[in-house]
Amino acid sequence: MDNKWKNKNFFDALKNSLNGIAYLIKNEKNIKIELIFAILAIIASIVLKINLLELALIVFAIFIVLFAECINTVLENVVDLCTEEYNEKAKIAKDVAAGSVLIVSILSVIIGILIFLPKIIEILL
């Protein structure tokens, strides 16, 4: 059975993945804000000369937030595809997906505080 949605090869899959990322950046306000914070975190990492393990944690935190935003966008679009009318279960699904982004964003802030705050205090004292 031929599936018109199936990628023909790796390069088609890569192109479609990049199209998805481009869609996010073009259409989702929150991903733009998250990318600004990601860039600021990378700049702070360079300026404060964090070690390799700390950098790995920062990069992990950045990517987990971006991943959660991707999943949130997917879920919102799938719910919208299923119903145009207000539905309490659809609202719950969208709210929980958005809540997952909030949870990993809080985790990222905690990681940032644990890594950056001691270095900033050291500079100031």
Q: What is the CATH number of the domain that holds 62?
A: 1.10.287.3610
Mean pLDDT of the chain: 95
Residue 5 lies in a domain: no
Token duo for residue 109? 């802030």
Residue 77 lies in a domain: yes
Residue 62 lies in a domain: yes
Q: How far apart are CA 110 and CA 125, in angstroms?
A: 22
Q: What is the pLDDT of residues 71-108, one digit of tens each?
A: 999 999 999 999 889 999 999 999 999 999 999 999 99
Q: In this model, does residue 18 exceed pLDDT 70?
A: yes
Q: How far apart are CA 26 and CA 77, in angstroms?
A: 15
Q: How far apart are CA 105 and CA 31, in angstroms?
A: 12
Q: How many domains does the chain have?
A: 1
Residue 36: which domain range?
10-124
Residue 2 lies in a domain: no
Residue 4 lies in a domain: no
Measuring CA to CA, how many Å separate 87 from each of 46, 48, 67, 105, 112? 47, 48, 26, 27, 38
Top pLDDT among 25 and 7 is at: 25
Nearest to 119 by CA among 46, 40, 60: 46
